[in-house]
A and B are shown apart, each in its own frame.
Chain A
Amino acid sequence: MSKQILLEGRKLSKTFGRFVALQETDFAIHAGEVHGLCGSNGAGKSTLIKILTGAHRPTGGEVHVNGTLAPAGSPLAMLELGVACIYQHSNLIPALTVLDNVFLGRPPKTKLGFIDATEQRRKAEALLEKYNIDLDLDAQVSTLATVKQKEVEILKALALDAQVILMDEPTAWLSHSEVRKLHDTIARLRALGVGLVYISHVLDEVFQVCDAVTVMRDGAVVWNGSIDEITRPELVDRMVGNDLGEASRSVAAEPRHPKGTGEILLSARDLGMTNTFEDISFDLYKGEILCLTGLIGSKRTELLHSIFGSAKFSAGTLDVLGRSVRYSSPSEAIAAGIGFVPEDRLRDGLLLDHSVSDNLIFAALDKVSRWGFWNNRAVRELTERQIRDLNVKPADGSKIVKRLSGGNQQKVLLGKWLEIEPKILFLDEPTVGVDVGAKAEIYAILRKLRAQGTAILLVSSDMEEVMAIADRIAVMVSGRMTMTCAADDITQEELVLQISGGNK
């Protein structure tokens, strides 16, 4: 390529303890190029981004901006060199206007040191015109739609004279029409010579807007080149890896039980929630594992919460164990025999400052108490039994949960729900941040539950996991269920296409 290289990473490495997150990775962004960055969860994309923005200091390698060496691990220095990042979560101040946010922390000033409002507005308007962005500069950011907030962040980056803008899953929370608007904006930036990095799981989008693409797997670049040089199936293949297919096949050697015993425990018909999801219909059978998969923002978590009573669905009907229900709180769902291992175990699941024992008994207090008074022996027995069955390490019920490893935390969380002896168990991304050993143990527990007749609904974005453990697979795309089938009837490549084939 003849175009100028704006940002370049040379042999970047990053290790956390013994864990290698990134190994000797080369990466380069040219002027006027939209560069896609693809890879499954844990492939090292976010580590690479964090090094490029200075949020992480690399263990090895160098970052060059416009051909000169940039200081490592300094977010401010990278900003000043013109490398800006738009993270998944907002970095705006909701109570301030668009104008104030655009010049956050570094507004133009008059000679007296006051903020030069006229100059600020003039500059902002010039940028709006140059990049053809439509924004009300006086609107308060909290009143803007999400796509507009993304544009404010883009404008904020441009106001810093950013040459390179990194975007981490910019479309995760956007609707289809908003995605198109964002892509138009990106096209205009490219035409004006800005270099963009576009991280996305949605392959459609990657093929729509990117000029070049880098595929990462296991902390290394496995392919990079122009988007014309690769087809979509090839891209998927590179993301998933050839050897991986075999691995998942060997795991999948376990017999599958689509539709379990044939008895329907939970049946949803046309469930909808305003502005969130609609027309969701599915059945969950006794003794099966139904995997619900899709991209971030496809509203799977919201669906689970609406069934569980921690949110409310606004349309459709729900039958649980043959009875039409609509829970107004989780306690009702739990009383009916539904358990729910939520997505973010630190935020929604665990009592971090409490002991393993306290956490294990917390959903089934009635089992270990009478009239609200503890039955200490029952507490002890329950704790010992779960620690033994789940192989929690260290095997100490008084250990504070905060101090356990991710895998053991997840086992404790699972144990809590096993104690209510659930007829139906929801799990939302149960193996994120869990080591391989614990992952296998969790799968074994789920299979055992299935054998005992529990109906399991598992939300996962990890294709390998879905292929390994699912009896049936359902796919959600932007709040709609687009596909349901037996796990044996689909290959991993087809599944990836289904999930990312969103924009239709």
Chain B
Amino acid sequence: MLSLISYLRTAIPTYAMPVALLIVIGLFGALAPVFLTPANFTAIIYQMSITGIMAVCMTFVIMTGGIDLSVGPVLATSGLVVFFLLHIAHFPLFPAVVLGILTGAVTGAISGLVIALFSLPAMIVTLGMLSIVRGSALLAGGPDLHLVREQPGFEFIGNGFLFGIPFAIWIFVAVSLLLIFIQKRTTFGLQVAAVGDNERAAYLSGRRVKLVKMMTYVICGMGAALAGIIQSSQVHTAAATYGEFGTELDVIAAVVLGGASLLGGKGSVARTILGVLFLAVLNNGFNILNVPIDYQLIIKGGIIVIALSLTEWANSKVA
């Protein structure tokens, strides 16, 4: 009995999420057969691609022990930037998108610079950035919706299909693979985890800790910007008000459900995808079953609490 418990403890951090995911999928499948159709799974992944891209890109930030609350307005800004470049400045599609992503990189670099250089708490700095970026976006674009017209290339990003699968999913998969590659196959991946594990030790081992930290915010900003472009394309509009309050919390919840610790050190891109998938499956299943919003919120909150306290329990006793 005792060995079973201790076995469970070591197994929980690794298997809890996949098992929970399977249970939830099975449950929804039993209650609503339509849930298990391939079309619905495509829909789930399509719906999660925007949050998913932001979450995998935020994983590194959280692994260093930081956080980025400013992804919502960054998402809005990049959509606006691309809109301006396409419609007002008449840029071709490709440079417009690249510059749009670059705006995310710049805002991320600013947050990262302030956080790393002055050792300020990431939560407050990015909270300030949230306000600053939102204000700037509204200043530039006003509160109105800007219709993106006659840009077939741009519309393809969010609405097109490649080999029968939405292009947005391809982007999500590509970004995920790229980040998994960075995490597993490059020295940067180890340095990110090392900074979160023991920043002082990493510094004393000759690592450029501040640069690593800053780069994680740049990646996070770029992810948010890419997500913003996809969203703009999906709804054919750009607006400074997109990525409204709560976006960043969804993203963080996904990363944390994937097992990343807000104290830094722990986390993996692949598991973040599981976290995003879990939340997306819940949302989709709830909607199919017509679960009212109130129960959705309560159940989601409850699941996060249970998942994390289980992990906490497992970690604290084994160590």
15 A–B contacts, CB within 8 A, in A order:
A329-B208, A331-B208, A342-B201, A342-B204, A347-B200, A351-B194, A351-B202, A352-B197, A358-B190, A358-B194, A362-B202, A363-B205, A372-B186, A372-B188, A402-B319
Give chain A interface residues in 347-389, CB to chain B under 8 Å.
347-354, 358, 362-363, 365, 369, 372-374
Interchain CB contact (< 8 A) of A310 among B193, B194, B197, B204: B204
Residues in chain A near residue B193, CB distance under 8 A: 351, 354
- Tell me which of B188, B204, B319 contacts A348 (CB under 8 A): B204
| A contact residues vs B (CB 8 Å cutoff) | 308, 310, 329-331, 333-335, 340, 342, 347-354, 358, 362-363, 365, 369, 372-374, 402, 416
Which chain B positions have C-beta within 8 A of A402? 319
B151 at the A interface (CB under 8 A): no
B207 touches A353 (CB 8 A): no
Chain B 183-223 interface 0/1 with A at a Cβ cutoff of 8 Å (1 = within): 00111101101100110111111111000000000000000
> Is B265 among interface residues, defined by CB-CB distance under 8 A?
yes
B266 on interface, CB distance cutoff 8 Å: yes
A308 surroundings in chain B (CB, below 8 A): 204
Size of interface on B: residues with Cβ below 8 Å to A: 22
Residues in chain B near residue A334, CB distance under 8 A: 205-206
Q: For the complex, what is the distance from the CA of A365 to the CA of B208, rounded to whole Å?
A: 12
In chain B, what residue has the closest Cβ to A416? Answer: B205
In the bound complex, do residue A348 and residue B197 qualify as a contact, i.e. CB atoms below 8 Å apart? no
Distance in angstroms between the alpha carbons of A383 and B51 in the assembled complex:
38
B interface, over-half SS: helix
> Chain A's nearest CB lies how many Å from the CB of B257?
19
Q: Which of B199-255 contact A (CB under 8 A)?
A: 200-208
Do B266 and A348 touch (CB < 8 A)? Answer: no
Is the Cβ of A373 less than 8 Å from the Cβ of B204?
no
Q: Which residue of A lies closest to B198 (CB)?
A: A351
Give the residues in chain A near B198, CB-CB below 8 Å.
347-348, 350-352
A365 partner residues in chain B, CB cutoff 8 A: 187, 190-191
Distance from A365 Cβ to chain B, minimum over Cβ atoms (Å): 5
- What are the residues of chain A within 8 A of B194 when measuring CB–CB? 351, 354, 358, 362
The closest CB in chain A to the CB of B264 belongs to A353
Q: Which residues of A contact B187 (CB under 8 A)?
A: 365, 369, 372-374
Residue of A nearest to B190 (CB): A358
Minimal beta-carbon separation of A61 from chain B (angstroms): 32
**How far does the Cβ of B273 sit from chain A's closest Cβ, in whole Å?**
21
Given contacts A330-B205, A331-B206, A334-B206, contact A353 B265 (CB under 8 A): yes
CB distance B266 to A353 under 8 Å?
yes
B266: chain A residues at CB < 8 Å are 353
- A352-B197, A362-B207 known; 4 new pairs, CB 8 Å cut-off, are A329-B208, A342-B201, A349-B201, A350-B198
Chain B residues with CB under 8 A of A362 = 190, 194, 202, 205, 207
Residues of B within 8 A of A340 (CB): 204
Closest 6 CB pairs of A and B: A334-B206, A331-B206, A351-B197, A363-B205, A365-B187, A353-B197
Q: Which residue of A lies closest to B184 (CB)?
A: A374
A351 and B201 contact, Cβ closer than 8 Å, known pairs A331-B207, A334-B206, A363-B206: yes
Chain B hits for A363, CB < 8 A: 205-206
Q: Which residues of A contact B319 (CB under 8 A)?
A: 402
Q: Shortest Cβ distance from B127 into chain A, in angstroms?
A: 23
B191, B202, B205 interface centre (most CB from chain A within 10 Å): B205
Q: Is the CB of B204 within 8 A of A374?
A: no
Which residues of B sit under 8 angstroms from A331, Cβ to Cβ? 206-208
Q: Are B200 and A354 in contact (CB under 8 A)?
A: no
A222 to B187 Cα, complex, angstroms: 54
For A372, what are the chain B residues with a Cβ–Cβ distance below 8 Å? Answer: 186-188
B185, B187, B194 — most chain A CB neighbours (10 Å): B187
A351 partner residues in chain B, CB cutoff 8 A: 193-194, 197-198, 201-202
Instruction: Find the residue from A333, A351, A372 having the highest chain B CB count within 10 A.
Output: A351
In Å, the complex CA distance between A316 and B319 comes to 46
B177 to chain A, nearest CB (A): 15
How far, in angstroms, from A353 to B207 measured CA to CA in the complex? 17
The complex places the Cα of A351 from the Cα of B197 at a distance, in Å, of: 6
Q: How far is the CA of A129 from the CA of B228 in the complex (A)?
A: 69
User: Which of B186, B202, B206, B265 is the one whose CB lies under 8 Å from A374?
Assistant: B186
Complex: A352 Cα to B206 Cα, angstroms: 17
The minimal Cβ–Cβ distance linking B307 to chain A, given in whole angstroms, is 20
Residue of B nearest to A365 (CB): B187
CB interface residues, B 76-131, toward A, < 8 Å: none
Q: Which residues of B contact A333 (CB under 8 A)?
A: 206
Min CB–CB distance A248 → chain B (angstroms): 31
Tell me the smallest distance from the CB of B64 to a CB of chain A, in Å: 13
Chain A residue at minimal CB-CB distance from B189:
A374
Cα–Cα, bound, A187→B300 (Å): 65
Q: In the bound complex, how far is the Cα of B206 from the Cα of A310, in angstroms?
A: 10
Q: In the complex, what residues of B have CB within 8 A of residue A358's CB? A: 190, 194
Q: Which residue of A lies closest to B203 (CB)?
A: A330
* Complex: chain A residue closest to B208, CB-CB: A331
> Smallest CB–CB gap between A328 and chain B, Å?
12
State A373–B187 Cα separation when bound (angstroms): 6
Instruction: Kindly provide the distance from the CB of A284 to the nearest chain B CB, expressed in whole angstroms.
Output: 20
A369 cross-chain contacts in B, Cβ below 8 A: 186-187
A333 to B265 alpha-carbon distance, docked (Å): 26
Q: How far is the CA of A363 from the CA of B185 in the complex (A)?
A: 17
B255-268 vs A, CB cutoff 8 Å, 1 = contact: the mask equals 00000000001100
Residues of A with C-beta under 8 A to B206: 329-331, 333-335, 363
CB-CB < 8 A to B190: which residues of A?
A: 354, 358, 362, 365
